Chain A
Amino acid sequence: MLNSNTSALGIIYPNSYDALVPELVNVRSMASIPFASRYRMIDFMLSSMANCGISNISLLVKSNYHSLMDHLGSGREWDLVRKNGGLHIFPPFAEKTSQPYVGRVGATASILGFLRSQKEKYVVLSDANIAVNFDFSAMIEAHIASGADVTAAYNEAEFPASILNARDNTKGLYYTFDIDNGRVKKIYINSRERGIQNFDMNIYVIDRELFISMVDDAYVHGHEYFERDILVPQLAKLNVQAYKYEGYVARVSGIKSYFDENMKLLDDHNLDALFNGAPIYTKIRDDNPTRYIEGAKAENVMVADGCVIEGEVENSILFRGVRIAKGAKVKNCILMQDTVVEAGAVVEYLITDKKVTVSAGKEMKGTDSFPFYIAKYHSV
C-alpha cells in the first residue's frame, strides 16, 4: 500500500463523558455537540483520522445518537464513503438479556467479530470529547518505532475545574500518567492534583489482534473500562509508551469549559493552532454568506454562514443561521444554529441551543462563571 496508514482502523466512542455535560447531551451525544461556530465535536476526530489515511472508522454509539447519525449521513463529507472500510456506526446490539454497557470493554465486545475480520494491523482508539487536529500518522510511526504494546497520547494540561471540584467520581474517569523515559509507569484515576498534569487524551494505538484478545479477556471477567481494568492492572507487563501531543487541545468537560473552549477560539492564535493543520470537515448546510445589514455592529466575533445581523454583537460565537434583529444586543454568548434574538432583546453570557428564540425586548444575563443555558427549541 502506498499510504502506510491504511494499516490502521479507527474506533471512536461517541458517548464517552456524556455525563459531564448533561444539558448539552439531553438531545444528543458528546460527539454531536456543536463547537466552534460550524462544527460538531466528532468532526475533529473524524477529519484527523481521514486526513491521515485512516478510512475504516467505526463509531460505537450507545445512546441519543440520532443527531449524530443525522450529522454523519453516509460519511461523504469526511470522504468516508468507501468500498473497503468507510464509516460504520454500531448501535448497541440489544438482546433480551442484554444490559446497557459501560466503558470501552462492553462497547467493543459487541464488535469483536467485525474486528477479527478486518485486515488492518493496528487499531486507533479515541473518544469525541476533545477538539484537536491530530496527526495520527506521526503517532502510529512512533508506535511502530518504539515497539510498544500500547501507545497512549497525552497532553500537558491542568485539570479543568469541573474535575477538580467534582464531589464524587461517578461522572467519569480521568487518567494521568507518571512517565519514565517514555514509558507509562503509573496511571492515576481521577487524581485531584493541581498544576500541569500528563493528561491522558484517551487516544491509543494498539496491535489489532492484541486489542481483540485484551477486550475478549476483560469481557469474560466482567470488566468495563479499558484504562481502569486493562491498562492499570497490566502496566508492569505491558509496554505502554506515552506519546506527548504538543498541538492545540480543546477538552469539553462541563458546560463552563464548553463555554470557555469556544471563547478561546476568538483569539486568532488559538484558532490558527486548531485549524491551520489539515482541514476539518463538517456537514454541509448550503447556507448563503452571512449578511451584515445597515446598523449592524460586530466586534470580536466568530460567525458561520447563513446569519443575518442587524443588531450589535460582541465577544460571541454564532453558529449557522443565527438572526440578530435590530436593536438587539448580544455579548459574550454562544448562539447555536438558527437561534433568533428578536428586536431590542439584550443577552449576555448565554448559551442557546439550536432553534432558540429570545423574544423582543427580553433581557437575560448569565455571568462569567455561570453562563445560562437555554435548551433546544425553547422560546424565552
Chain B
Amino acid sequence: MAKEMIAMLLAGGQGSRLYALTQKLAKPAVPFGGKYRIIDFPLSNCVNSGIDTVGILTQYQPLVLNEYIGNGQPWDLDRLYGGVHVLPPYQKARGSDWYKGTANAIYQNISFIERYDPEYVIILSGDQICKQDYSDFLKFHKEKGAEFSVAVMEVPWEEAPRFGLMVADENDKITEFQEKPKNPKSNLASMGIYIFNWDILKKYLTEDEADPNSENDFGNNIIPNLLRDKRKMYAYHFKGYWKDVGTISSLWEANMEVLDPEHSGINLFDDDWKIYSRNSGMTGHKISRGAVVENSMITDGCRVKGTVKHSILFAGVQVEAGAVVEDAVVMGGTVIQANAVVKHCIVAENVTIGENAVVGAMPQDGESGVATVGAGVRIGAKAKIGPKAMINSDVEDGEEQC
C-alpha cells in the first residue's frame, strides 16, 4: 500500500556554530527544554500530523543520535510498514559518497522513498524548535494544486537579509527566491520545510545530480531550478512559534523562552500536541528544605538544595547547598557543587562545577555573552569562567578563563 506522504529529515548538519555542544554529537541530538532533544520536535510533529514514515539523514557524529532514535518507539514510530529509519551514507558497489549536500542526501535515498510509493514527500530540518501540523501544510499544498510548497514565516524587515526569502504574489504563488539578499523584496523567510510532489522531486534530484557544477543543495540549486522552469510553487504562511537554534545565543534564548510560554516561548504544556522524548527513567525531582526555586523548569532525577532562578534543569542535575543557578540551561547529569555560581550560560551534560566556582555572569554595561561548558568537563573549585568563554576541556582549581 502506498503512503500519501512520507518525511525526510535532514539531520546531518555538524552545527559548528554550537561549538562546545556539538563536539561529540550532531546538532539534532542537542538537548533542549529540560527533557527533550531538538529532533524530538520534528519527530513528534510528524507523528502528531499522521506521518508514520520518517527517514532521518545522518552524517556527522551519528552515534548519540542513532542510539537516541533506536527503533523509534518513544515517538510511536516503531511500525511494521514505515516507522523511523536512520539513513547514513553507505558504500555502494562503485565507491561510496558522503552526502554532498541536502539534495544529494535525498538523492542517495531515492530507493528508500520508492519503497513507500508516496504521492508527496515533506523535507524537514533537524535544527528547529517548532510545533507544526504538517497535515495543514499538505492541505494547503493540495488546494493550491502545487508541485512544490515551502513553509515561510514573516520576519521583521530589518532581519530579512539574514534569511532565504520567498517573494510571493497575492495568491501565495512564489515568483522569486532571494538567498540572504542585501535588498530584500520580501520578508517571508523560508523555514527550510518543503512539500514536493514525489514525481517532481525525483525528476529534479536526478537532473541536479547529473549537473557537475551543482552544490546539490535545495536552497541553492533545486529551488532556483524549479523557478527557472516556472513550476507551480507556493508559500505556506506558518504562524506560531518557530526558532532556528543553530547558535549558542539562539539556543539559550529559546530555552529561556520555554519558561514563559504565555508570552514568548513554545508551549510544551499542550496535551493536544505532545512532544515525545526518550525518558530518563529517574525518580521525581527533590527540592530540599532551604532550597529556593523560582520561575524554573525542573525534571526527573534533579536534587536541588541551593537556589535556582529562571533556569532549566535537565534530568539528574544536582544543585548543592549554597550554589546559585540563574538564567542558566543545565543539561542532564551535571553536578553544581556547594556555593558555585552559575549564571547566564549553557552547561552541557555530565559536567562537574566545583565548589565556589563561578561560571558566566549576568549581562553588564551592554556586554553580554552566554558562557558555554562542553559535555563531561570538570570545572575546578574556585575556578572562574568568563561570560564569553567556550570551555571544552577541564579547568583547574582556581584557574580563570574568559
Contacts from A to B (Cβ < 8 Å):
36-38, 76, 266, 268, 271, 275, 279-281, 284, 286, 288-294, 296, 298-305, 308, 317-318
Chain A residues in 8 Å Cβ range of B275:
286, 288
Q: Which listed residue, B286, B290, B295, touches A294 by the CB 8 Å rule?
A: B295
A288 and B287 contact, CB distance less than 8 A: no
B284 and A292 contact, CB distance less than 8 A: no
**Assuming the A-B contacts A76-B73, A286-B274, A305-B35, are A38 and B284 also in contact, with contact meaning beta carbons closer than 8 angstroms in the complex?**
yes
| Bound-complex Cα distance A303 to B300 (A) | 8
A300 and B287 contact, CB distance less than 8 A: yes
| Bound-complex Cα distance A320 to B287 (A) | 16
Other A-B contacts than A298-B287, A304-B300, 9 sampled, CB-CB below 8 A, are A268-B288, A271-B286, A284-B279, A286-B274, A292-B295, A299-B290, A300-B289, A303-B284, A305-B284
Q: Which listed residue, A284, A286, A291, A302, touches B284 by the CB 8 Å rule?
A: A302
A37 and B283 contact, CB distance less than 8 A: yes
**Assuming the A-B contacts A38-B300, A288-B269, A288-B275, are A303 and B285 also in contact, with contact meaning beta carbons closer than 8 angstroms in the complex?**
yes
B285 and A308 contact, CB distance less than 8 A: no
A284 and B74 contact, CB distance less than 8 A: yes
| Bound-complex Cα distance A292 to B299 (A) | 11
Q: Which listed residue, B276, B281, B287, touches A281 by the CB 8 Å rule?
A: B281
A292 and B297 contact, CB distance less than 8 A: yes
Measured between C-beta atoms, what is the minimum distance from B32 to chain A in Å?
11
Measured between C-beta atoms, what is the minimum distance from B326 to chain A in Å?
14
Q: Is B197 part of the contact surface with A, judged by Cβ < 8 Å?
A: no
Q: Is B333 part of the contact surface with A, judged by Cβ < 8 Å?
A: no
Q: Which listed residue, A271, A286, A289, A301, touches B287 by the CB 8 Å rule?
A: A301
Chain A residues in 8 Å Cβ range of B276:
286
Chain A residues in 8 Å Cβ range of B343:
none
Mask, B264-288, CB within 8 Å of A = 1, is 0000110000111101010111111
11 pairs from A and B in contact (CB 8 Å cutoff): A271-B286, A280-B283, A288-B297, A289-B35, A291-B259, A291-B297, A293-B295, A299-B287, A302-B283, A308-B269, A317-B284
| Bound-complex Cα distance A235 to B77 (A) | 54
Taking each of A275, A279, A301, A305, which has the highest tally of chain B beta carbons within 10 Å of its own beta carbon?
A305
Measured between C-beta atoms, what is the minimum distance from B255 to chain A in Å?
11
Q: Is B293 part of the contact surface with A, judged by Cβ < 8 Å?
A: yes
| Bound-complex Cα distance A302 to B304 (A) | 10
Q: Which listed residue, A288, A299, A302, touches B285 by the CB 8 Å rule?
A: A302
Chain A residues in 8 Å Cβ range of B300:
38, 304-305
Q: Is B291 part of the contact surface with A, judged by Cβ < 8 Å?
A: yes
A298 and B299 contact, CB distance less than 8 A: no
B277 and A318 contact, CB distance less than 8 A: no
Interface of B is mostly: loop
Interface residue ranges of B183-240 to A (CB < 8 Å)? none
| Bound-complex Cα distance A284 to B274 (A) | 13
A268 and B303 contact, CB distance less than 8 A: yes
Chain B residues in 8 Å Cβ range of A304:
284, 300
Measured between C-beta atoms, what is the minimum distance from B330 to chain A in Å?
12
Chain A residues in 8 Å Cβ range of B283:
36-38, 271, 275, 280, 302
Chain B residues in 8 Å Cβ range of A299:
287-291
| Bound-complex Cα distance A183 to B4 (A) | 68
Measured between C-beta atoms, what is the minimum distance from A317 to chain B in Å?
8
| Bound-complex Cα distance A299 to B287 (A) | 6
Taking each of A37, A38, A291, which has the highest tally of chain B beta carbons within 10 Å of its own beta carbon?
A291
A268 and B286 contact, CB distance less than 8 A: yes
Q: Is B298 part of the contact surface with A, judged by Cβ < 8 Å?
A: yes
| Bound-complex Cα distance A37 to B33 (A) | 21
A289 and B297 contact, CB distance less than 8 A: yes
**Assuming the A-B contacts A301-B286, A303-B287, are A292 and B296 also in contact, with contact meaning beta carbons closer than 8 angstroms in the complex?**
yes
Chain B residues in 8 Å Cβ range of A303:
284-287, 298
Chain B residues in 8 Å Cβ range of A289:
33-35, 268, 297-299, 312
| Bound-complex Cα distance A318 to B284 (A) | 9
A279 and B73 contact, CB distance less than 8 A: no
Which 8 pairs show the lowest CB-CB distances between chains A and B? A37-B284, A289-B34, A289-B299, A288-B268, A304-B284, A289-B297, A298-B287, A300-B289
| Bound-complex Cα distance A131 to B312 (A) | 31
Chain B residues in 8 Å Cβ range of A286:
274-277, 279
| Bound-complex Cα distance A293 to B294 (A) | 6
| Bound-complex Cα distance A37 to B296 (A) | 19
| Bound-complex Cα distance A271 to B130 (A) | 37
Chain A residues in 8 Å Cβ range of B33:
288-289
Chain B residues in 8 Å Cβ range of A266:
286
Chain B residues in 8 Å Cβ range of A281:
281
Chain B residues in 8 Å Cβ range of A36:
283-284
Chain A residues in 8 Å Cβ range of B291:
298-299
Chain A residues in 8 Å Cβ range of B35:
288-289, 305
Closest partner residue, chain B, to A47 (CB atom):
B281
Taking each of B287, B289, B291, B298, which has the highest tally of chain A beta carbons within 10 Å of its own beta carbon?
B287
| Bound-complex Cα distance A37 to B285 (A) | 9
